[in-house]
Amino acid sequence: MIITELKPIAEVIDSLKSYSRIFLVGCGECATTCKTGGKDELVKMQAELERQGKTVLGSCIPDAPCISAQIKVEMAKNIPALRQAEAILVLACGLGTQSVKDNDRMGKAVLPACNTICGAVVDAKGDFCEKCSMCGECVLGITAGICPVTLCAKGLLNGPCGGMDKGKCEVDKDKDCAWVLIYQELEKQGKTAQLKAAYPAKDFKKTLKPHRITAAR
């Protein structure tokens, strides 16, 4: 899922200084889980904006505003309010915010209420753990399912740097060295021999942005 945090309210208010009639869009998936764009956060945002003298004309929470079909349906249901709005404030990630912009046919100002941090898994305690940097060339098959691109502070692909100390990362002593974790996992599986092969440098062409991939039909 995509991890977001709410921007400081002063920053949100400042971004809306030229607008007084606002429509709010939340997100029923990731931003609801992050408590940045669910029902409660929209209610709180509305109250804050009203305290600042703004008028909130309405709101919607599509399951996933990053999916065009869903935001289109919600916008169609809210056309009267959207017509009167000067700005749409999106409580979702940068994908959701840009999807709202792409699907707004009225040319409204579309503004983010959140900062987008990373893609992460939600662990058993409910904490968000960044695990994948979306590098386009997954090496998990040779690193025992542990991502060195993301979990190694230097993104190294061929074993630990010289700074690893007693299994800890030289960049952050509180963190385990990703390559020690990879070695230990491969050792359990009796597969450390596969580390002898040097992994070639990554093809950074695969990280050129923006990606546009045609969905399978």
Q: Does 160 bind ligand SF4 (CB under 6 A)?
A: yes
**What is d(CA 66, CA 54) in angstroms, rounded to the nearest whole number?**
26
CA atoms within 13 A on the CB side of 130: 14
Nearer to ligand SF4 among residue 4 and residue 150 (C-beta)? 150
Beta strand 21-25 with 128-130 is unpaired
Other residues' Cβ atoms within 10 Å of the Cβ of residue 17: 8
Shortest distance, position 214 Cβ to ligand SF4, whole Å: 20
Buried b (16+ CB within 10 A) or exposed e, 133-156: eebeeeeeebbbebbbbbbbeeee
| SS3 category, 9 | helix
Residues ≥6 apart with Cβ < 8 Å to 185: 144, 145, 146
Q: Does 20 bind ligand SF4 (CB under 6 A)?
A: no
Nearer to ligand SF4 among residue 59 and residue 143 (C-beta)? 143
Q: Does 195 bind ligand SF4 (CB under 6 A)?
A: no
Q: Does 9 bind ligand SF4 (CB under 6 A)?
A: no
Q: Does 170 bind ligand SF4 (CB under 6 A)?
A: yes
Q: Does 79 bind ligand SF4 (CB under 6 A)?
A: no
Nearer to ligand SF4 among residue 58 and residue 119 (C-beta)? 119
| SS3 category, 167 | coil
Binding range to ligand SF4, per CB under 6 A, among 32-40, 69-77, 83-91, 173-181? 173-181
Tokens of 27: 């997100």
Q: Does 142 bind ligand SF4 (CB under 6 A)?
A: no
Q: Does 161 bind ligand SF4 (CB under 6 A)?
A: yes
Draw the binding track, 110-139, toward ligand SF4 (x: CB under 6 A; -: no contact): ----------------------xxxx--xx
**What is d(CA 22, CA 53) in angstroms, rounded to the nearest whole number?**
11
Q: Does 184 bind ligand SF4 (CB under 6 A)?
A: no
Contacts with ligand SF4, residue ranges (CB under 6 A): 132-135, 138-140, 147, 149-150, 152-154, 156, 160-161, 163-164, 169-171, 177-179
